[in-house]
Amino acid sequence: MAVPVSVPANRPLSGVIWMIVTGLCFVAVTALVKSLGKEVPAAQGAFLRYILGLVFILPILGRMLAARPSRPELGLFWLRGVAHALGMICWFYALARITIAEVTAMNYLAPVYVSLGAVVLLGETFAIRRLTAIVAALIGAVVILRPGFRELSTGHLAMIFTAILFAISYLIAKKMSGRFDASVIVGWLSVTVAVVLAPFAVAVWEPVTAEQVFRLFLIAACATVGHYCMTRAFRAAPVSVTQPAAFLQLVWAVLTGMVFFGEPADTWVMLGGAIIVGAVSFISWREAQLKRRAITSSGGMNQY
């Protein structure tokens, strides 16, 4: 989600440290979801994550009510909730079927789709440099997937849809950020996603244990801390400084997969992820230069 900040402070070391902590928080989220595996259906897991996470928006409930969105704005909030809810289902589904490293690397495609959508839907300029970066990011995705050289699973397909759906969510957030405070946008997302996921969860509902519920609560807590750390990173330093540190999230993901889930390190995934992160870093840096504001910069770091 876009974080409207006027001009980032010039504290590069602080910004990088906050971004590193952000990556660790979101890898913890990914690992906890991975640990659930197929024990909890994807829709039910996503629903419980958001229901349990509602406790964290209680402090901003008054601010949400005071914002008084118009009917068209409410429509956009709900449209975002639908897109994000479907993206969460796809993300939970993918994590049960492919490696943490693949999920993390493919998450980085979301801001690429955001950049494309900003041109088509928001009328932003499509400079040749942005086009080059987008092509490079798509090449990175091909390096990760390697179609024709290995079998692609439904988990890979789910991650492609995840990135597209989260991009739609981010584009709406970007449009709404000029009208509402970031906390209000987060609050409405939490409420609408929980409501949209409810019927999907009921349709596949299975009994859950107290331990599974506790893990889902930890997912919500880690995601909240991650969002806070990401905002602090954007406020401490320009996105051109903090964004390259986002690549460390892929390193943490590979190590977590190896140590806790016995997933082999895949050089091609790391290479493709590095290409995508490089392209996203360039797009973010250019937009930060042109607009002098922090923007949605890493799809794999703010969707949880």
Domain boundaries, the chain: 12-301
Residue 250: Cβ-neighbour burial (10 angstroms; 0-12, 13-18, 19+): buried
Q: What is the pLDDT of residues 217-264, one digit of tens each?
A: 999 999 888 878 877 887 787 766 776 777 788 889 999 999 999 998
Strand partners, 147: 150
The per-residue pLDDT of the chain, averaged, comes to 84
Residue 52: predicted pLDDT: 93
Q: What is the pLDDT of residues 268-287, one digit of tens each?
A: 999 998 898 888 878 777 66
Name the token pair of 243: 């964004």
For residue 174, the Cα-to-chain-centroid distance in whole angstroms is: 14
For residues 177-201, give the mean pLDDT. 90
Residue 2: predicted pLDDT: 37
pTM (whole model) above 0.85: no
Q: Distance (Å, rounded) from C-alpha 24 to C-alpha 168?
A: 25
pLDDT-derived band at 291, boundaries 50, 70, 90: low
For residue 285, give the 3-state DSSP assignment: helix
Residue 118: Cβ-neighbour burial (10 angstroms; 0-12, 13-18, 19+): buried
pLDDT-derived band at 171, boundaries 50, 70, 90: confident
